[in-house]
Amino acid sequence: MQIGEKIPIGSDHAGYELKQDLIEYLKELGYEPEDMGTDGTAPVDYPDIAGAVAAAVSRGERKRGVLICGTGIGMSMSANKFPGVRAALAVNEQLAEISRRHNDANILALGGRIHQKLQARKILKKWLETEFEGGRHVRRVEKIARLSLNE
């Protein structure tokens, strides 16, 4: 964990309530959350929010980010269109840990309609505290990057 690290976080309307809770939790953990929207429960298009967070990670402005929609599926699909982004939908702590340890996931996707607040907090904490294992996984992560370049 890097105290004071800026973490962009965004949600659509279905993930708004969970996003608000996770912003407070990130602060409790010593991070500096950057709210990338939305600002309420009025319907919005999740690709717009995913694009804001994913662009910051893709450009190297931020090391990692968090996205929340109804299921986390749409956000992860949208974010993964950006070069260098490895967004992972984690439905439990084990998947959060593996997404970091084996895949060096740099965006965590969650579902506002499938995760309870306490569960989402546990998943987020596990994801934040888990480091990339490296080793044999480096080659695989590099291959993911080349896929987005059509090499």
Residue written as tokens 């190297």?
A: 60
Instruction: Write down the pTM of the prediction.
Output: 0.96
Confidence band for 150, pLDDT divided at 50, 70 and 90: low
User: Does 98 reside within a domain?
Assistant: yes
Measured at the CA of 88, the angle between CA 138 and CA 57, to 5 degrees, comes to 75
From first CA to last CA, the distance across the chain in angstroms is: 34
Confidence band for 20, pLDDT divided at 50, 70 and 90: very high
Beta bridge pairs of residue 13? none
Q: Is 13 a catalytic residue?
A: no
Residue from 13, 69, 115, 137 carrying the catalytic annotation = 69
**What is the crossing angle of helices 93-101 and 117-129, to 10°?**
20
Residue 48: pLDDT above 90?
A: yes
HSE at residue 67, side-chain half, CA atoms within 13 A, is 35
User: Does 96 reside within a domain?
Assistant: yes
Over residues 91-112, the mean pLDDT reads: 98
Confidence band for 144, pLDDT divided at 50, 70 and 90: confident
Q: How far apart are CA 124 and CA 129, in angstroms?
A: 9
Residue 91's domain spans which residues?
A: 6-148
Residue 62: pLDDT above 80?
A: yes
User: Does 1 reside within a domain?
Assistant: no
Over residues 110-118, the mean pLDDT reads: 98
Identify the pLDDT of residue 149: 65
Q: What is the mean pLDDT of the chain?
A: 95
Residue 151: pLDDT above 60?
A: no
Q: What total number of domains does the chain contain?
A: 1
CATH number for the domain including 63?
3.40.1400.10
User: Does 116 reside within a domain?
Assistant: yes
Identify the pLDDT of residue 148: 67
Identify the pLDDT of residue 29: 97
Identify the pLDDT of residue 17: 98
